[in-house]
């Protein structure tokens, strides 16, 4: 997939892949920024937390942008 976020300096290729992985019976999800979040007890918990993580990142961005003015 070709795409560029506003904060990316140059266009890049982003490949869609499974964000949730299991390690020793615990579940983690990876972020675009390269961090591994978790552990979670179930896959459903990890998938739910992906949406919470995205919401927190959007809120943080909005707060930072509102303080810039």
33-67 confidence digits (pLDDT tens): 889 999 999 999 999 999 999 999 999 999 999 98
Instruction: Write down the pLDDT at residue 57.
Output: 94
Q: How many domains does the chain have?
A: 1
Is 60 exceeded by the pLDDT of residue 2? no
Token readout for 6 is 């506003």
User: Would you say residue 47 lies in a domain?
Assistant: yes
Domain extent for 59: 19-67
C-alpha span between 37 and 40 (Å, rounded)? 9
C-alpha span between 53 and 27 (Å, rounded)? 15
Q: Report the predicted TM-score, pTM, of the whole model to 2 decimal places.
A: 0.69
Instruction: Write down the pLDDT at residue 68.
Output: 75
Is 70 exceeded by the pLDDT of residue 8? no
């Amino acid at each position: 997939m070709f795409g560029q976020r506003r904060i990316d300096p140059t266009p890049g290729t982003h490949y869609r892949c499974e964000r949730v992985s299991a390690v020793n019976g615990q579940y983690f999800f990876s972020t675009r920024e390269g961090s591994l979040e978790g552990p979670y007890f179930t896959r459903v918990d990890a998938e739910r937390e992906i949406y919470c993580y995205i919401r927190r990142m959007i809120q943080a961005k909005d707060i930072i942008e509102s303080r810039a003015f």
